[in-house]
Chain A
Amino acid sequence: EADIYQTPRYLVIGTGKKITLECSQTMGHDKMYWYQQDPGMELHLIHYSYGVNSTEKGDLSSESTVSRIRTEHFPLTLESARPSHTSQYLCASELAGANTGELFFGEGSRLTVL
Chain B
Amino acid sequence: AQSVTQLGSHVSVSEGALVLLRCNYSSSVPPYLFWYVQYPNQGLQLLLKYTSAATLVKGINGFEAEFKKSETSFHLTKPSAHMSDAAEYFCAVRLGGSQGNLIFGKGTKLSVKP
Contact assessment for A42 and B105 in the assembled complex, using a CB-CB cutoff below 8 Å: yes
Which residue in chain B gives the minimum CB-CB distance to A39?
B107
Q: A40-B9, A41-B106, A43-B104 are in contact. Are A101 and B49 (CB under 8 A)?
A: yes
The B63-83 residues at the A interface (CB cut-off 8 A) are none
**Interface size counted on chain A using CB atoms at 8 A:** 25
- Please name all residues of chain B whose beta carbon is closer than 8 Å to the beta carbon of A90 when the two chains form the complex: 43-44
- Please name all residues of chain B whose beta carbon is closer than 8 Å to the beta carbon of A92 when the two chains form the complex: 43-44
- Please name all residues of chain A whose beta carbon is closer than 8 Å to the beta carbon of B46 when the two chains form the complex: 101-103
Q: A40-B9, A99-B98 are in contact. Are A2 and B45 (CB under 8 A)?
A: yes
Contact residue among B94, B101, B104 (Cβ-Cβ distance under 8 Å from A42): B104
Which residue in chain A gives the minimum CB-CB distance to B50?
A101
Contact assessment for B99 and A107 in the assembled complex, using a CB-CB cutoff below 8 Å: no
Contact assessment for B9 and A105 in the assembled complex, using a CB-CB cutoff below 8 Å: no
Measured CB to CB, the closest approach of chain B to A26, in angstroms, equals: 15
Alpha-carbon separation in the docked complex, A68 to B107 (Å): 30
A51 within 8 A of B: no
- Please name all residues of chain B whose beta carbon is closer than 8 Å to the beta carbon of A108 when the two chains form the complex: 41-43
Contact assessment for B49 and A102 in the assembled complex, using a CB-CB cutoff below 8 Å: yes
A61 within 8 A of B: no
- Please name all residues of chain A whose beta carbon is closer than 8 Å to the beta carbon of B94 when the two chains form the complex: 101
Q: A99-B51, A101-B34 are in contact. Are A48 and B101 (CB under 8 A)?
A: yes
- Please name all residues of chain A whose beta carbon is closer than 8 Å to the beta carbon of B107 when the two chains form the complex: 40, 42
Interface string of B79-114 (1 = CB under 8 A from A): 000000000001010100011011111110000000
12 additional contacts (CB under 8 A) given A33-B101, A105-B44: A41-B106, A42-B103, A42-B106, A42-B107, A43-B104, A45-B101, A99-B98, A101-B98, A103-B36, A103-B44, A103-B46, A105-B43
